[in-house]
C-alpha cells in the first residue's frame, strides 16, 4: 500500500486539529458545531454521504430516491471553510501518538494526526452470531441495503407475474420481516401499502393483494419502546393493510427459500418466503473494537464504548465517542442523541482549546420517538404525550421534513410524499438486479 501523510492544507497550520470519524448524525452535527471556531477539522467516512437512516425504508419501497436521504457530505459542508472532508476507512488508532491510519481509495493508506478525536462510527446489523441469518436475509443499515431490498421487493412481484406454479408464486409473494421495532413496522406497513394500494391493477397473472406480509418479533408486542396503547394502535393499522403481526415468536432458521419460526410453546413452522428482511439486532461497528484496543475503553454487550459524562473516554480526555457507538447512562440509539452528543463533544473541545470552562456532563434533551405505520398513520411519543393515527402522522411529517438535510431535499421529498401519500404512486421503482433463484 502506498503510504502518504495527510496534509490538511496550510489554512490548518498551527490550529487545533479536530478529527471526526463518521459523517452520520453524530459526526455531521459535531462538524457543523465547529464551523465558526478557529480549529482545523478533518471529517473522515468510509462513504461519501450523510445517511438519513430513518427514511431508508422509503428508498427500499420506491418512495424516495437515494439522493434525498443520502446527500454528499462535501456538498453539505461546502461553505464550511475549516473542514476537509476525506473518504476513507479508519483501520487503526494509535492513541499515544494521536494518529489514525486511514485506508483510502485506490488501496492508499495514510496517517492522520489529531489533537482531539471524535468517533461517531454508529452501529451495524447483528445476527446474534448466526451466519445463515446474515447470509439469507437482507439487512437495512446502508443505502446499498435499501437498494438491494428495493430490487428484491419489486423483483419478487415481477417474478410472480411470470411464475405458473402456484406454490412458487406464493413464495415470491411472501415477505417475511424479522424485528418489530420502528424499522420492521415501517417496512411492513409500506410493503402492505404496495400490495393493497400502489400496485393495484398493474399485474395480470395475480392480484398484489395476495401478497403475504409477515412481521415476527420475539417480544410480547411490537414497538416495545412505545406505550402499550401505541403498540396496539400500530398493530391494528398494520392488520388493516393485511400485515400478519406475530409476536412471542422466535426465528430459528433462515435459508435460501424460507424462514422457520418457533412459537412460545417451542412448536416450529417453516414458511416459504423469497424475501426475508432482517430488522432485529444491532451492534457497534468494528471501529469500536479499534477504539477499545487503542484506549483501553470498556465495551458493553453490543460493543458500544463506555464514556465519561462529557462523552470522552476515561483517561483519554482528547478522545470522544458520540452517537450510537457511545454507551452512556442507557441513552438509546436515536438520531437526536447522536446530534446532541456530537455537538456537546465539539463544544467541549473548543472550550478546552480556548482555556475556557468546559460545558461539563452531557444532558440529553428528550425530543421523543415516532414511527410511521402506513400512508397516513403514525405513532409518536413525546414526554408522556402519545399521538397516533393522522395526528401522529402529521407530527411525523413535520419532524422528518425539519431534520432532512438541505432545502432542495426537503422540497423534492415533499413532492414525492405528495405523489405517494395522496396519489398512491411510487416513482422510484427502477431495479438493476433481477430476481434470482437462490
Ligand atoms: C433503518 C433505521 C431506521 C432508523 N429510524 C430512526 C428513527 O426513526 N428515529 C431515530 O431517532 N433514529 C432512527 N434510527 C437510528 C439513527 O439513524 C441513529 O441513531 C443515528 O444514525 C446514529 O448516528 P451516528 O452518527 O452515531 O451513526 P451513523 O449515522 O450510523 O453514522 C456512522 C458513520 O460512521 C461511518 N464509519 C463507521 N466505521 C467507520 C470507519 N472504520 N472508518 C470510517 N467511517 C466509518 C459509517 O460509514 C457511517 O457513515 C434508525 C436507524 C436505522 C438503521
Which CATH number goes with the domain that contains 24?
Answer: 3.50.50.60
Residue 3, in any domain of the structure: no
Backbone angles phi, psi at 268, to 5 degrees: -100, 150
Long-range contacts of 186-189 (CB under 8 A, 24+ apart): 186/57, 186/371, 186/372, 186/373, 187/57, 187/60, 187/61, 187/140, 187/277, 187/279, 188/213, 188/215, 188/238, 188/241, 188/243, 188/245, 189/237, 189/238, 189/241, 189/243, 189/372, 189/373, 189/374
90 lines ligand 1 (CB under 6 A): yes
CA atoms of 180 and 130, how far apart (whole Å): 19
pLDDT > 90: percent of the chain: 86
- Stated as kind and residue range, the H or E segment containing 182 is helix 182-193
pLDDT in tens, 41-96: 999 999 999 999 999 999 999 999 999 999 999 999 999 999 999 999 999 999 99
Domain count, the chain: 2
pLDDT of 40 above 50: yes
pLDDT of 256 above 90: yes
The reply to whether 269 and 167 lie within a common domain is yes
Identify the residue whose C-alpha is closest to ligand 1 atom 35. Answer: 22
Among 43, 122, 177, name the best residue to mutate to test ligand 1's pocket (greatest count of ligand atoms within 8 A of Cβ): 122
The reply to whether 179 and 261 lie within a common domain is yes
pLDDT in tens, 131-178: 999 999 999 999 999 999 999 999 999 999 999 999 999 999 999 999
**What is the separation, in whole angstroms, between the first and last Cα of the chain?**
37
What is the model's pLDDT at position 373? 94
Residue 350, in any domain of the structure: yes
CA of 243 to the centre of ligand 1 (A): 28
Residue 360, in any domain of the structure: no
Query: What is the residue range of 305's domain?
Result: 11-125+283-354
The reply to whether 316 and 416 lie within a common domain is no
The reply to whether 119 and 136 lie within a common domain is no
pLDDT of 361 above 60: yes
pLDDT of 7 above 70: no
pLDDT in tens, 307-357: 999 999 999 999 999 999 999 999 999 999 999 999 999 999 999 999 999
320 lines ligand 1 (CB under 6 A): no
What is the model's pLDDT at position 165? 97
Q: Is the pTM of this model over 0.85?
A: yes
Local confidence band at 435 (pLDDT 50, 70, 90 cut-offs): confident
Long-range contacts of 431-437 (CB under 8 A, 24+ apart): 431/150, 431/151, 431/154, 431/155, 432/151, 433/148, 433/151, 433/155, 434/151, 434/155, 434/158, 435/151, 435/152, 435/155, 435/156, 435/158, 435/159, 435/172, 435/274
Residue 138, in any domain of the structure: yes
Mean pLDDT over each residue of the chain, to the nearest integer: 94
Catalytic center residues: 186
pLDDT > 70: percent of the chain: 97
Strands (DSSP E) found in 255-368: 258-262, 268-272, 275-278, 281-284, 305-306, 312-313, 316-321, 326-327
CA of 54 to the centre of ligand 1 (A): 9
140 lines ligand 1 (CB under 6 A): yes
Among 121, 146, 177, 292, name the best residue to mutate to test ligand 1's pocket (greatest count of ligand atoms within 8 A of Cβ): 121
CA atoms of 205 and 162, how far apart (whole Å): 7
CA atoms of 351 and 39, how far apart (whole Å): 12
CA atoms of 350 and 343, how far apart (whole Å): 11
Among 20, 23, 24, name the best residue to mutate to test ligand 1's pocket (greatest count of ligand atoms within 8 A of Cβ): 24
The reply to whether 244 and 145 lie within a common domain is yes
Amino acid at each position: 500500500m502506498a503510504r502518504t501523510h495527510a496534509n490538511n492544507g496550510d489554512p490548518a497550520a498551527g490550529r487545533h486539529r479536530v478529527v471526526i470519524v463518521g459523517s452520520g448524525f453524530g459526526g455531521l452535527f459535531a462538524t457543523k458545531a465547529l464551523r465558526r471556531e478557529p480549529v482545523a477539522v478533518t471529517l473522515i467516512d468510509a462513504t461519501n454521504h450523510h445517511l438519513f437512516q430513518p427514511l431508508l425504508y422509503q428508498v427500499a419501497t420506491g418512495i424516495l430516491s437515494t439522493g434525498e436521504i443520502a446527500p454528499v457530505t462535501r456538498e453539505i459542508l461546502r461553505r464550511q471553510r475549516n473542514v476537509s472532508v476525506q473518504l476513507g476507512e479508519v483501520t487503526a488508532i494509535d492513541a499515544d501518538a494521536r494518529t489514525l491510519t486511514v485506508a483510502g481509495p485506490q488501496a492508499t493508506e495514510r496517517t492522520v494526526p489529531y489533537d482531539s478525536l471524535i468517533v461517531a462510527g454508529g452501529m451495524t446489523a447483528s445476527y446474534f452470531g448466526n451466519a445463515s441469518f446474515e447470509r439469507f436475509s437482507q439487512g437495512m443499515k446502508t443505502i446499498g441495503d435499501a437498494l438491494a431490498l428495493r430490487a428484491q421487493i419489486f423483483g419478487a412481484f415481477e417474478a410472480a407475474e411470470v411464475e405458473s406454479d402456484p406454490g412458487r408464486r406464493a413464495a415470491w409473494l411472501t415477505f417475511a420481516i424479522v424485528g418489530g421495532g420502528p424499522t420492521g413496522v415501517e417496512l411492513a406497513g409500506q410493503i402492505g401499502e404496495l400490495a393493497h394500494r400502489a400496485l393495484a391493477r398493474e399485474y395480470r397473472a395475480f392480484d398484489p393483494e395476495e401478497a403475504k406480509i409477515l412481521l415476527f418479533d420475539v417480544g410480547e408486542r411490537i414497538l416495545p419502546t412505545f406505550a402499550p396503547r401505541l403498540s396496539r394502535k400500530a398493530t391494528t393499522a398494520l392488520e388493516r393493510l393485511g400485515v400478519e403481526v406475530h409476536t412471542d415468536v422466535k426465528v430459528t432458521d433462515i435459508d435460501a427459500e424460507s424462514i422457520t419460526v418457533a412459537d412460545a410453546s417451542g412448536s416450529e413452522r417453516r414458511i416459504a418466503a423469497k424475501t426475508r428482511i432482517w430488522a432485529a439486532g444491532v451492534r457497534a461497528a468494528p471501529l469500536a473494537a479499534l477504539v477499545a484496543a487503542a484506549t483501553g475503553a470498556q465495551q458493553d454487550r453490543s460493543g458500544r464504548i463506555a464514556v465519561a459524562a462529557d462523552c470522552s473516554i476515561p483517561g483519554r480526555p482528547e478522545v470522544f465517542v458520540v452517537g450510537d457507538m457511545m454507551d452512556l447512562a442507557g441513552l438509546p440509539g436515536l438520531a437526536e442523541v447522536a446530534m446532541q452528543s456530537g455537538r456537546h463533544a465539539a463544544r467541549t473541545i473548543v472550550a478546552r482549546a480556548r482555556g475556557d470552562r468546559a460545558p461539563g456532563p452531557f444532558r440529553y434533551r428528550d425530543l421523543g420517538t415516532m414511527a410511521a405505520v402506513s400512508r397516513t398513520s403514525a405513532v409518536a411519543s413525546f414526554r408522556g404525550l402519545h399521538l397516533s393515527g393522522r395526528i401522529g402522522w402529521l407530527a411525523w411529517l413535520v419532524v422528518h421534513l425539519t431534520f432532512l438535510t438541505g432545502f432542495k431535499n426537503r422540497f423534492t421529498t415533499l413532492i414525492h410524499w405528495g405523489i405517494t401519500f395522496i396519489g398512491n404512486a411510487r416513482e422510484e421503482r427502477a431495479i438493476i438486479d433481477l430476481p434470482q433463484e437462490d
